[in-house]
Amino acid sequence: MLAETIELIQSDGWMMKCLQAVDSLRLPDWYIAAGFLRNAIWDALHAKSVRTPLNDVDVVYYDLGDRGTALEVEIESVLGARCPAVKWEARNQARMHLRNGHAPYRDSEHAIAHWIETPTCVGVRIGRDRRLEIAAPYGIAENWSLRVTPNPRIRYPAALFNQRVREKRWLEHWPKLEVEWPPEVQLAPALVVFDLDGTLLRGRTVCELLAEPLARLERMQQLERFSTEADLTAARNEMATWYRGRSVSQLTAGLNAVPFAPGAQEAVALLQRSGITVAIASITWEFAVECFARRLGVTHFIGTRLGPAGTVEHVWPRDKATWAHALCRQLSVPSHRLVAVGDSRGDVNILEIAAHRVFVGENLPPEITDVYHAPHADLLTVARWILDRLDAGA
């Protein structure tokens, strides 16, 4: 079917004009993908004389050197000037894995292979030899088969696939399509609670990150050795004096550049996309926890609170468990759908109340049993394990 596909595109002056416009930009590893070719094939199979309108024309490219969004906007603007009747959408696939909760994509075709419906996983470009090149990770014959099936390699919620097919009204536009509707299973709500220091973050603690710009790092490292609540109370009271007279934005200015643990952003995105609530429970300063929670798109979090007058409302490990229990009640999450992810003895209390337990620290506390022990694990791997456990109803 490859020859038929190329002939179809070459005989369509509008498609070739779009391809030539994108080709002129010399984008790295580019394709026009998704509905651009998928719809053209379905139109041909339905003998349509008028093109089915596209919501937009999807341009994908792969550029590790510039993963911001400014270039995407510029590309759309330039293409809009060259083909003003077309609504363009450009996306750098070197960054899109973060939004989609996947491991980093290797190239544009690898990204295309992750899309929700099999016939959508297709793209076309003009190659260096000026010949058309087709990206069809699951075979171009799938597009000519009139079958609409879920991605065979990447698991998406059945409800998401079904919703997209209905909302796009594909069966109205192309009645010969044969949709493979996956069954939707209604699962109870679920909650995954992550620790922050050592779990979502690796390396320096939040307190150390806050202390360094204040020239207090050495003293902070001394305070980090404290273990009793009395000593930690005194340490927090001392830290509160360091922060006096500084706004939260001043104190957290450097935190936005702190990298998360491997796979953390992808893991949170995957869990949230699967309909699972994600929360962060930490004993460190709540204003810093909020900064990291905001970066991850997490709305439920707890930490030690610093009042405007320098008063400290302490959070201890046992409080994390109490808070998670209360959050479950608030969100109507049954006890068998609570997951906790931690890395130290400070997470024992919350791990003990969780039905599913993940420990990413090196030394597993002996009192914690029935746990997935994955020292220093990539958190995307952890998220996939969590989904498997929750889907199995274990």
**Confidence check: pLDDT of 185 > 80:** no
Predicted confidence at residue 80, as pLDDT, reads 95
DSSP H or E segment with residue 219 = helix 217-223
Q: How far is CA 156 from the centre of its chain?
A: 13
- Cα separation, 175 vs 352, in Å, equals 53
- Whether residues 209 and 265 share a domain: the answer is yes
pLDDT mean over 278-304? 96
Residues 125 and 159 in one domain: yes
Per DSSP, 175 falls in state T
pLDDT score of 76: 96
Residues 211 and 353 in one domain: yes
DSSP SS3 for 194: strand
3-state secondary structure 30-80: CEEECHHHHHHHHHHHCCCCCCCCCCCEEEEECCCCCCCCHHHHHHHHHHH
292, 350: one domain: yes
pLDDT score of 188: 86
Asked whether residue 393 carries a pLDDT value surpassing 70, the answer given is no
Q: What residues have CB less than 8 Å from 390, skipping those under 6 apart?
A: 187, 190, 276, 337, 339, 356
Residue 157, pLDDT score: 85
Q: Is there a domain that residue 185 lies in?
A: no
Domain boundary among 155, 179, 203: 179
Residue 309 pLDDT greater than 90, yes or no = no
Residue 312, beta-bridge partner list? 306
Identify the domain boundary among 179, 209, 242: 179
Same domain, 98 and 175: yes
Is the pLDDT score of 392 beyond 80? no
**Which helix (H) or strand (E) segment is 248 a member of?**
helix 248-251
CATH assignment of the domain containing 211: 3.40.50.1000
Instruction: For 193, list phi and psi in degrees, rounded to 5.
Output: -110, 120
Highest average pLDDT, of 181-190, 305-314, 355-364, comes from 355-364
**Of the candidates 318, 321, 303, the residue with the CA atom closest to the CA atom of residue 239:** 303
Is 116 among the domain residues?
Answer: yes
Tell me: do 388 and 350 sit in the same domain.
yes
In a domain? residue 319: yes
**Residue 91 parent element (H or E):** strand 88-92
Reported as a single tens digit per residue, the pLDDT across 71-94 is 999 999 999 999 999 999 999 999
Please report whether residue 316 resides in a domain: yes
Q: Is residue 364 part of a domain?
A: yes
Q: Is residue 268 part of a domain?
A: yes
pLDDT given at position 100: 80
45 lies in the same domain as 168: yes
Q: Verify that 165 and 34 share a domain, yes or no.
A: yes
Domain coverage including residue 284:
191-392
Helix and strand element counts for the chain (H, E)? 18, 14
Name the amino acid, one letter, at 125.
R
d(CA 393, CA 186): 12
Show Cβ contacts of residue 69 under 8 Å, excluding neighbours closer than 6 positions.
none
Closest of 98, 139, 101 to residue 118, by C-alpha: 139
C-alpha gyration radius of the chain:
25
Position 209 in a domain: yes
Residue 247: what residue type?
S
Q: Are residues 201 and 311 in the same domain?
A: yes
Return the structure tokens found at 363: 């030394």
How does the average pLDDT of the chain come out, rounded? 94
pLDDT at 99: 79
Structurally, how many domains does the chain consist of? 2
Condensed to tens digits (0 to 9), the pLDDT of residues 217-227 reads 999 999 999 98
125 DSSP 8-state letter: E
- Phi first, then psi, for residue 85 (nearest 5°) are -85, -5
- CA angle centred on 372, ends 369 and 376, rounded to 5°: 120
Which of 179, 213, 244 finishes a domain?
179
- 350 and 212 in a common domain: yes
Of 137-146, 184-193, 212-221, 379-388, least confident by mean pLDDT is 184-193
In a shared domain, residues 200 and 57: no
Residues 209 and 333 in one domain: yes
**The token pair that represents 293 in the structure block:** 């929670």
User: What is the number of alpha carbons within 13 Å of residue 43 lying toward its C-beta?
Assistant: 17
Q: Is residue 186 part of a domain?
A: no
- What pLDDT score was predicted for residue 349? 96
